[in-house]
Structure 1
Amino acid sequence: MEYKAKYITPDIKLSWYEDTFFKSDIMFDHHMLIWFISGETKIVQTDATYIFKKGDIFLIPRNQLATIINYPKHGQPHKTVVMHLSVERLRTFYANLNVKPKALESQKIYCFTKHPLLESCLSSLIPYFEMKDLPKDIASLKITEAISVLRAIDKSIDNILANFEEPGKISLIDYMEKNFMFNLSLEKFSYLTGRSLTTFKRDFSKAFNTTPQRWLTRKRLELAHYQISEKNKRPIDVCYEVGFENLSHFSHAFKKHFGYPPTKLTE
């Protein structure tokens, strides 16, 4: 895989992949505003799967778990403009505004495809990637413009952007049962459940009577078995969607657990 990126600032970048695909399991620390230039992305969350392609614009809220698979398409690389909307910048933006965000039970991915204001804002960044030095105040103005446009076209977006709360302590069993397929570090899982790493491991042992690593592997393999046998999915697709890094590791773990390779289910 060949990955390339050009930055206007650490918060604004043009990125592209030129291999067959790139997969990652991610929990973003910042809101991510993304404009697709070419290629395709598949985003798998607990309760939804999205496909994004050329021309699409979408916002991924922070602290959301997702499996992201990027593909080149029609002979063109996977290429996007990405803007980070950090908590620090948003605190400054909202400091003098009387906004009281409503608590949300869940946060979805927001789609803004073909909106002329937002498309104009993001496409105007392209010439800046050819400059070696861009004044910080101009880059800051472009991010402020993007936030302002988001607020103009979706009144509910304040409930996301102006919410600065950190994850509180929640039910470990409920959260892990819903999100085990995301291949994140234990540090990330502990943060998202409102615990220190030590407390997370202790609570996990009490709740599941095993280690996180063993439980996660078993749950992912059981889900993979179901997806292949009952949903007729291909092992190579299931492998990445249930939290494994590559097909070889997945096939080895599957055979060790069930006694036969995943391909036997497709015969």
Structure 2
Amino acid sequence: MEVAEIFIACKKEVHYSRELILPQPALVRIVSGEMRIAGADRVYHFFAGDTVLLPRNQLGKMSKMPLNGEPCVVISLLFRKERLQQYYSSNKINPQVPKRHEPILFREHPLLKSLFNSLSPYFELANALPKDIAAYKVEEAIRVLRAIDPKVDGLFGQFEEPGKLDLVSFMEQNYMFNLPLEKFGYLTGRSLTTFKKDFKDAFKITPGRWLTQKRLELAHYQIFEKNRKPSEVYLDVGFEDLSHFSFAFKKHFGYNPTSGNAAKY
């Protein structure tokens, strides 16, 4: 099923996403509430009125939270690779700015206000926005963003797949993200087979066992040193299920995550 290029989301309760790896850049406008994106080394906070351009192929976890009695409402535009390639090719634009891997936050601007005001009526439609209109509005968004900040070319105009990265450095920084090994391989520029081989050569252990150990060690630190609850920690360190986390924790350390001075559930 093809994902819409323009859509609106409303979260009346706190909503925690799983790992976020956008296959294409996305422009997000926060209408109300708060949106957080936690990367490997920092957390971004966005509030009502903020407009942020998110890069593709960057790891993070997204949370959407009501604020001041209002739900978290966001409008999103996705920029598909073929759409961006067509724009840069047809306009004979060869990006000459450095690559961008961090989100770009835009200050309020008349062009942005006009763009999103023009989108609002479409969300009253019973069906998805017609493809030709969606394509027109996405191209308008590209032109608006480039007019406001030409540096967006460093994020929009890069179409190559991830190159081969230093495996040890990448895994040490991103092990807490709950991804299949195929995705870890892709993000480090490797096939699954090559990823497993390079991983074994570097760490002398299988990826699955290493990931479990690292996540449990981080969980132990968060619970016993930072006094966090196991129910708060297990998702942050890369586990999907609390009971599985508790079982793995006890098997590894010999005691429950709630024992001793650990916080209660």
**Identity within the alignment, %:** 49
Deviation at 1:122, TM superposition (A): 2.2
Give the Cα–Cα distance (whole angstroms) in 2 for the partners of residues 251 and 119 of structure 1: 48
Once the two structures are superposed, the pairs formed by residues 202-217 of structure 1 within 5 Å of their partners are 202-217=197-212
Match of 1:162 in 2: 157
Give the Cα–Cα distance (whole angstroms) in 2 for the partners of residues 24 and 187 of structure 1: 17
Range that drifts further, 234-243 or 76-85: 234-243
Structure-2 change in CA distance of 1:126 and 1:60 (3 Å): same
Range that drifts further, 189-198 or 202-211: 202-211
Contact 1:44 1:241 (C-alpha < 8 Å) held by counterparts: no
Once the two structures are superposed, the pairs formed by residues 104-119 of structure 1 within 5 Å of their partners are 104=99, 107-119=101-113
- SS of the aligned residue for 1:33 comes to strand
Give the Cα–Cα distance (whole angstroms) in 2 for the partners of residues 134 and 203 of structure 1: 45
Contact 1:21 1:69 (C-alpha < 8 Å) held by counterparts: yes
- SS of the aligned residue for 2:134 comes to helix
Q: Which amino acid aligns with 1:170?
A: L
Residues 1:198 and 2:197 are matched in the alignment: no
Match of 1:225 in 2: 220
Q: Which amino acid aligns with 2:216?
A: L
Give the Cα–Cα distance (whole angstroms) in 2 for the partners of residues 15 and 253 of structure 1: 36
Deviations 1:18-47 (A, max 9, x none): 444232102110001111123322211112
Structure-2 change in CA distance of 1:231 and 1:97 (3 Å): farther
Give the Cα–Cα distance (whole angstroms) in 2 for the partners of residues 90 and 24 of structure 1: 27
Give the Cα–Cα distance (whole angstroms) in 2 for the partners of residues 133 and 175 of structure 1: 39
Match of 2:37 in 1: 43
Once the two structures are superposed, the pairs formed by residues 248-267 of structure 1 within 5 Å of their partners are 248-263=243-258, 264-266=260-262
TM-score by length of 2: 0.87
Give the Cα–Cα distance (whole angstroms) in 2 for the partners of residues 204 and 54 of structure 1: 43
Contact 1:168 1:194 (C-alpha < 8 Å) held by counterparts: yes
Count of residues paired in the alignment: 259
Which of the residues 152, 167, 170 maps onto 1:172? 167
Once the two structures are superposed, the pairs formed by residues 13-52 of structure 1 within 5 Å of their partners are 13-52=7-46
Give the Cα–Cα distance (whole angstroms) in 1 for the partners of residues 28 and 231 of structure 2: 27
Residues 1:79 and 2:85 are matched in the alignment: no
State the superposition RMSD in angstroms: 2.3
Q: Which amino acid aligns with 1:152?
A: A
Structure-2 change in CA distance of 1:23 and 1:251 (3 Å): farther
Q: Which amino acid aligns with 1:172?
A: L
Deviations 1:193-233 (A, max 9, x none): 11111111122122222221211111112122223344444
- SS of the aligned residue for 1:124 comes to helix
- SS of the aligned residue for 2:45 comes to strand
Structure-2 change in CA distance of 1:251 and 1:37 (3 Å): farther
